[in-house]
């Protein structure tokens, strides 16, 4: 495996070579033509140029360790870059290798994840780390990557691109924004099935890593300076309010389970209902019933966060 790039910048831009020569083909797929028409070469040159202008020197761009890249990809899902910068480094300090993550306790993994949201992702990381260690090496093919818990098509493509410089369809929100802005500027409700062949055709043979950095950085800039193009995707959904939601209560219960674990204790539904009620009433919302607290605990148990014995849940 090659070492990290000196600066992490897209190498095609640095070298100044004719970027269109990197393309597998010089034409868009015949079955999917963007509107208004823009030649593939022109699109590629535009993205490289904008990527160079808007390049972000992020810490996870200075490694090709697939484990470190994987952690960054999971952390960056629906999370601002500013929140991940710092937390990614702290995670790697605590769990520096996939072996260290696999050997850690579930409670330690969840405790380190707190504040990142979506606790299921921490469980998936822990489980997947064990499978990678069991296999003896980090997978590189899409099928094997997607067989791991919590890894979908975009995460698999990101690991392949940024750790191994292998081509793939890395269709995340910033990448999607570029294709929608440049190739479908006047359309709404654009399905990903129209974008996938375009993303695949535009991916270069050589500098996959730099190409996707360019797309990510141009896309991030577009979302800051224009009406967010990704909102015109059929996949776009507005995230529901977190305060007072079921998700917020679940997250609070996970924190309670962690605190109880540290104290060597278990949690009963009455205690959970009482603590949740204090939080809810302080914010002007209704009390939480014991039945509702039991529902949350049972959900978390079914997902592997905790187990129940004699009416108490423990992590």
Per the model's pLDDT, the better-predicted residue between 20 and 129 turns out to be 129
Give every CB contact of residue 84 below 8 A, 6+ residues apart in sequence.
72, 75, 76
Report field, pTM of the whole predicted structure over 0.85: yes
| Residues tagged active-site | 73
When the pLDDT of each residue in the chain is averaged and rounded to a whole number, the result is 91
Mean pLDDT (whole number) for 47-69: 98
pLDDT of 3 above 70: no
* Confidence (pLDDT) at 35: 66
Per the model's pLDDT, the better-predicted residue between 38 and 245 turns out to be 245
Long-range pairs of 132-136 with CB within 8 A, sequence gap ≥ 24: 132/67, 132/98, 132/102, 133/98, 133/99, 133/102
234-281 tens-digit pLDDT = 888 776 788 889 999 999 999 999 999 999 999 999 999 999 999 999
pLDDT of 58 above 70: yes
* Confidence (pLDDT) at 17: 38
* Confidence (pLDDT) at 28: 87
* Confidence (pLDDT) at 5: 47
Query: Above pLDDT 70, what percent of the chain?
Result: 90
* Confidence (pLDDT) at 11: 61
pLDDT of 16 above 50: no
């Amino acid at each position: 495996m090659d070492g990290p790039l000196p600066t992490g910048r897209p190498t095609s831009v640095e070298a100044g070579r004719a970027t269109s020569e990197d393309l597998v083909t010089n034409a868009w797929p015949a079955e999917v033509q963007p509107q208004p028409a823009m030649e593939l070469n022109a699109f590629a040159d535009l993205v490289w140029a904008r990527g160079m202008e808007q390049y972000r020197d992020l810490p996870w761009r200075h490694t090709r360790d697939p484990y470190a890249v994987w952690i960054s990809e999971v952390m960056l899902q629906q999370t601002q870059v500013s929140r991940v910068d710092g937390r990614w480094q702290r995670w790697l300090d605590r769990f520096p290798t996939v072996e260290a993550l696999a050997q850690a306790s579930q409670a330690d993994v969840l405790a380190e994840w707190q504040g990142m949201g979506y606790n299921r992702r921490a469980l998936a990381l822990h489980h997947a780390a064990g499978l990678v260690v069991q296999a003896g090496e980090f997978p590189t093919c899409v099928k094997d990557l997607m067989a791991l818990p919590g890894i979908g098509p975009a995460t698999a493509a990101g690991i392949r691109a940024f750790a191994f410089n292998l081509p793939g369809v890395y269709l995340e929100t910033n990448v999607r924004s570029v294709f929608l802005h440049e190739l479908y500027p006047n359309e709404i409700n654009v399905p990903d099935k129209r974008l996938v062949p375009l993303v695949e055709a535009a991916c270069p043979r050589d500098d996959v890593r730099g190409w996707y950095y360019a797309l990510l950085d141009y896309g991030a800039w577009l979302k800051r300076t224009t009406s967010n193009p990704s909102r015109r995707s059929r996949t776009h959904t507005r995230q529901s309010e977190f305060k007072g939601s079921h998700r917020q209560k679940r997250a609070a219960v996970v924190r309670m389970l962690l605190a109880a674990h540290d104290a060597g204790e278990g949690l009963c539904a009455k205690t959970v209902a009482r603590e949740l009620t204090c939080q809810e009433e302080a914010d002007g919302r209704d009390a939480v019933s014991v039945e509702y607290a039991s529902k949350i605990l049972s959900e978390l148990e079914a997902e592997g966060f905790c187990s129940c014995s004699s009416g108490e849940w423990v992590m």
